[in-house]
Amino acid sequence: MREVKRKIVLVGDPSVGKTSLIRRFVQDEFDDKYIQTIGAKVSKKEVQISTKAGDVRVTLTIWDVVGAQGYLGVQSRSFTGAAGVLAVCDSTRPDTFRSLDKYWMPLLHQVTQAIPAVFLANKMDLGAIIPEDVFAALASKYLVPGTALPPELHPSYFTSAKTGDHVQDAFLALAHLIAGERSLDEEIRHRLLNGLEDGGLAELAEALASPDFRAQVARAVNDAVVRFLRTPLAERLWALGPDRLDGLERAAADYIVAALRAPATREWAVRRAREAIELGRRALVGETGRQRVAEAAHVAVRALLDRPIGRPANLLPPDAEARLRSLLTEPLWSWMQRQVPVLVSQLSVQGLVEQKVLGFSTARMEELIRNVTQRELTLIVRLGYVLGAIVGLVAWGINLLFA
């Protein structure tokens, strides 16, 4: 039995039932609680289909893509590598039907080009206001040439995740489109192989000259190049699988270590380091070198000085003032009590006065002495007047008593 592994994506506006469809298909369950998908959710399911060439076991990796429009980065990365798409709308909301053609399919084709698509109008258990012929016409618009479906399957369905109606048929139809009947390019390869086996060079030449063959080759090369360029490197590496990725990491690490340990690498590094040192030495020697260093230092200092530092208090926490006061008041007061007596004991007041007096001129000294003498004489005369008055009053009082 031939085995095929393919990635498919479900696209559509929020709350159209993409997650419920996947749960019904994978687990045969339904939950009417709405949980918005964030990013993308991945599920897996194996199905078996019958073709003219025999039975095929198809492993579907199902990506449930975030439904909100505008998340272009997440949605585009989710589309990378997709081999098929289920485009889902709500059968009771025509706006979700229109957004499939206006937003989701054009965005998908920017990443994957044309891939097989099956269109689903979900929630048919609630009724459907989207005409069946209009819905079928949209599905026909996105049919990929060269793909075919068995008579019992169709490219569009009205489904119900709640009741399960047509959910299995929709996923089987997409599995047939991506891995079932041979497409046109497979038919060409089959003709080539038959021609080689039978020795029919004429048939081989006819097949190679066929316009269909050339168009298929050109489209395949173009799609491969576009897909390779649009696929992020990390995703291409993850696609290798854990075992091959570990082997690639070990091989890369061994190669890097061996390259670093090689004598030629050490010689190259030493040579480049010496060249860099020599260039630096030439740039700094002589007057030109000193001038360059001075200019660089000047620029650095100017940049530092021109940079505003703001208020230093803004750099401190709110309670810094109170904490500093409590921490510094007592030590500073104790220090002043210790230092002031020492400073006073070291001062000679008499010597300072004598030094100050000796610095005066003779005229200044005479003026000072004259001023001091005049003040003293005036004081003595006034004191004499007071004492004379007192003596006179005492004498007058005694004469008055004895008279």
Q: Are residues 124 and 225 in the same domain?
A: no
Q: Are residues 23 and 162 in the same domain?
A: yes
* Stronger pLDDT, 380 or 13, i.e. the higher one: 13
Looking at mean pLDDT, say which of 122-131, 172-181, 344-353 comes out highest. Answer: 122-131
Number of domains forming the structure of the chain: 4
Q: Are residues 100 and 219 in the same domain?
A: no
Q: Is the pTM of this model over 0.95?
A: no
Q: Are residues 52 and 162 in the same domain?
A: yes
Q: Are residues 101 and 197 in the same domain?
A: no
129 within some domain? yes
Instruction: Please tell me the predicted confidence (pLDDT) of residue 34.
Output: 47
Buried b (16+ CB within 10 A) or exposed e, 289-309: eeeeeeeeeeeeeeeeeeeee
pLDDT tier for residue 192 given thresholds of 50, 70 and 90: low
Q: Mean pLDDT over all residues of the chain?
A: 78
pLDDT tier for residue 119 given thresholds of 50, 70 and 90: very high
CA distance linking residue 199 with residue 190, whole number of Å: 14
pLDDT in tens, 38-85: 456 888 999 998 887 788 899 999 998 887 777 777 788 888 889 999
111 within some domain? yes
- Backbone angles phi and psi of 239, in degrees to 5: -65, -15
Residue 163 has pLDDT above 80, yes or no: yes
Q: Once rounded to an integer, what is the mean pLDDT over residues 26-43?
A: 66
Q: Are residues 225 and 266 in the same domain?
A: no
* Stronger pLDDT, 25 or 69, i.e. the higher one: 25
User: With contact defined as beta carbons under 8 Å apart, do 119 and 135 qualify?
Assistant: yes
Q: Are residues 55 and 14 in the same domain?
A: yes
CA distance linking residue 139 with residue 208, whole number of Å: 33
Instruction: Please tell me the predicted confidence (pLDDT) of residue 184.
Output: 47
Q: Are residues 150 and 246 in the same domain?
A: no
307 within some domain? no
Residue 169 has pLDDT above 90, yes or no: yes
Q: Mean pLDDT lowest for which of 282-286, 343-347, 396-400?
A: 343-347
Task: Give kind and range of the element (H or E) at residue 380.
Answer: helix 362-402
CA distance linking residue 118 with residue 84, whole number of Å: 8
Residue 98 has pLDDT above 60, yes or no: yes
Q: Are residues 15 and 164 in the same domain?
A: yes
* Stronger pLDDT, 145 or 402, i.e. the higher one: 145
Q: Once rounded to an integer, what is the mean pLDDT over residues 269-292?
A: 77
148 within some domain? yes
pLDDT in tens, 316-363: 677 777 777 777 778 777 777 777 676 666 666 566 666 666 766 777
CA distance linking residue 41 with residue 20, whole number of Å: 12
Q: Are residues 142 and 269 in the same domain?
A: no
Q: Once rounded to an integer, what is the mean pLDDT over residues 77-102?
A: 93
**In the 8-state DSSP scheme, what is residue 63?**
E
Domain that holds residue 18: 2-181
Q: Are residues 70 and 129 in the same domain?
A: yes
Q: Are residues 128 and 163 in the same domain?
A: yes
230 within some domain? yes
* Percentage above 90 pLDDT, the chain: 26
